[in-house]
Every structure is written in structure tokens, then in C-alpha cells.
Amino acid sequence: MIPATATIGKTDVTATALGLGTNAVGGYNLFPDLDDQAGIDLVQAALNNGINLLDTAYVYGLGHSEELVGQAMKGFDRSKIVLATKGAHDFSTGTEVINNDPEFLTAQVEASLNRLGTDYLDIYYIHFPDKITPKAEAVGALQKLREAGKIKAIGLSNFSLEQIKEANADGYVDVVEDEFSLLHQDNAKEMMPYLKAHHMSFVPYFPLASGLLTGKYDKNVTFADDDIRSQIADFQEPRFSHALAAVDQIRPIAKAHDATITQIILAWYMQNPLISVVIPGAKHADQVVANAKSMAIRLSHTDYQTIDDAFNWFKTTESGKSLADPE
């Protein structure tokens, strides 16, 4: 079966509906005990199993993820890879600052191209909005890079709907990346329909909600104080119990498709008309291979609606973000 694909915004960039998030590829500042070769292996597993979109960012390992992704792509046909990265984090003063200044973004793109070992990016996202730079001015800098052939599609990440509208004043924005999952549906109320209506793609991050949507947890699970999951509201009551109950309703559908709960959840995202590409992360190549199998699953209308209905509680409960945005 040929995987479903999505055209990014108004561009000619075509991605598989399932991509790969690479924050655990070289993201040593985000995860402990990462292995560089394991990161390279899982990127190559994605490319070898029909996934063509790779999503990275400067802040994943402060450039190290980009370096590893670049190494992993060697030997593959670059023209068949959809390469996305993100920038906005400025450490030049010794502390983390979000910076959307046009000169800074231009320099960031050039640095990313160098680390990735490529002469163009299929998608470049402004990773977070700053509090100073006019949004359309920041996007205008990326448009100049697009005209120079350095970028094919312009993206925004972690922008509010009002900020998206401001940034897209000249119609240059093609794609928005933000949090959305069956446990975090705030963006489905206004942002995602707006993007669809204005021919902008939507790419959700944290689609598996830190593993809570994989079916691997039960009510007895506990986390150490230094485990980030102990700080996330999804793992606290009442959200945790509602999530477990909803996931339990997916088990019969997974069994009927001879699939895992993770694969069924990913298939649901790929059939959601408001979503263009879903980008689950992974730490090991076997996880990527398993996720790739979800591209062959076609849910019936009844299955799709059953999954949708199972998470109704999360539609009517404001979820907020799993992790706070940087200042």
C-alpha cells in the first residue's frame, strides 16, 4: 500500500503523512544516556521504511541533532527527503534567549544548512516567537531565503493563532507546528480549522503524549521526582484516569487490525483532515519500524469515530501545553 502523503502549504513539498521527530537524536540536553549511533540508525530506519520527513531543530543538542541527521542522510537521495529544522534559540549572551531578529534567523539557517550538510531546507520553522520582532518581519527574512533557494517552505512553531495571523500578513507562511494529541485538543477549536481554511499545513508534536497514548501504562505506574513525566498534568488526576479509560477503548480496535495501540493512534492522526503530517519521536530503530507500519492501516469510519468519541472528555477540558514555552 502506498503511504498517504501531504502537500505542505502552497508549496510543491510533498511529505509522507508520517514523519520522524528527532529530539532524541543527539538531543543530549533533553534526554539522558543517548547514543549517537542509535540516533543515526533510527533516522536511517525511517528512511528505509517509507518515512520521508525528518523534523529536527537547533535546540535539540544545540546543533548536534542536526549533525547526526545530516550524517544519517548520507547515501540516500536528498531529493526524496523532506528535511525540516527550526531555530530561534540564541545563546550568544551565555543565557537562553528567544530571538526572531531577521539577521539572527538568516545566520541560523546558514548554520543549520552547514550542520545538516545540505544546500537547502524543505521546511524552516521559527521555533518560538520572541516578544520584540514584528512577526511579519521575521517571516520576511525567511521569504528572502526562500527566494534565494535556501528554503522551500516557511513554518511557525508555538505561535498563537493571533501571532500566526500577524506573521502571515504577506501570505508567506506554509505550515504550523504545535502541540496536539487526543489528550491536548485545544488547537482543534480554532487554530487547526483556520489553518485548513487558509491552505496552511498543521504538524502536531507530542502526538503520543509522552507515551500515555501507547497503552503501556496502568494506574499503578509511578515516576521519580526528576522524571519529567512526574511534572506533566496528563500523569496526574483527573487527567490520568480519563486517559487510561480512553486508551482501554482502543484495545479492541487494535486487536481487530492486528496492530498496536500506538499504530492505531498514529493511523487516526493520519486520517484526521486537519492534520498534514504527524511526527512521533523515537529512541530506537525498532520503534520507528513499528511506527512505520501505521501507514498501511486504514481505519473505518466507525473505528475513527469510536476513537474520537473515546477522548470526548479532553475536547471539553482545557488542556494547556505539556511543557511551558521558554521566555
Here the CATH number for the domain that contains residue 53 is: 3.20.20.100
C-alpha cell at 206: 507530542
The angle at the Cα of 210, spanning 126 to 163, to the nearest 5 degrees, equals 25
Amino acid at residue number 262: T
The confidence score (pLDDT) of residue 232 equals: 87
Within 10 angstroms of residue 174's Cβ, the number of other Cβ atoms is 23
In a domain, residue 48? The reply is: yes
CB within 8 Å of 326: residues ≥ 6 apart:
89, 96, 98, 128
Total structural domains within the chain: 1
Nearest to 106 by CA among 139, 133, 78: 139
The confidence score (pLDDT) of residue 128 equals: 98
The confidence score (pLDDT) of residue 30 equals: 86
In a domain, residue 224? The reply is: no
In a domain, residue 280? The reply is: yes
The confidence score (pLDDT) of residue 84 equals: 98
H helices of the chain, in order, are 36-48, 64-73, 102-116, 135-147, 161-167, 191-197, 239-248, 251-256, 261-271, 285-292, 301-310, 312-315
Burial category of 284 from C-beta neighbours within 10 Å (exposed 0-12, middle 13-18, buried 19 and up): middle
C-alpha cell at 195: 489553518
C-alpha cell at 19: 514523519
Q: What is the pTM of this model?
A: 0.96
In a domain, residue 322? The reply is: no
In a domain, residue 170? The reply is: yes
Active-site residues: which are they? 60
Q: Average pLDDT of each block of 10 consecutive residues along the chain (327 residues)? A: 84 98 93 93 98 98 97 97 98 94 98 98 98 98 98 98 98 98 97 97 96 91 75 90 96 98 98 97 96 97 98 93 83
In a domain, residue 245? The reply is: no
In a domain, residue 249? The reply is: no
3-state secondary structure of 149: coil
Nearest to 20 by CA among 87, 101, 107, 82: 82
CA distances from 71 to 20, 40, 67, 93 (A): 16, 7, 6, 29
- Look up the domain containing 270 and give its range: 5-212+260-297
In a domain, residue 24? The reply is: yes
Residue 281, strand partner residues = 21
> What span, in angstroms and rounded, lies between the C-alpha atoms of 60 and 170?
30
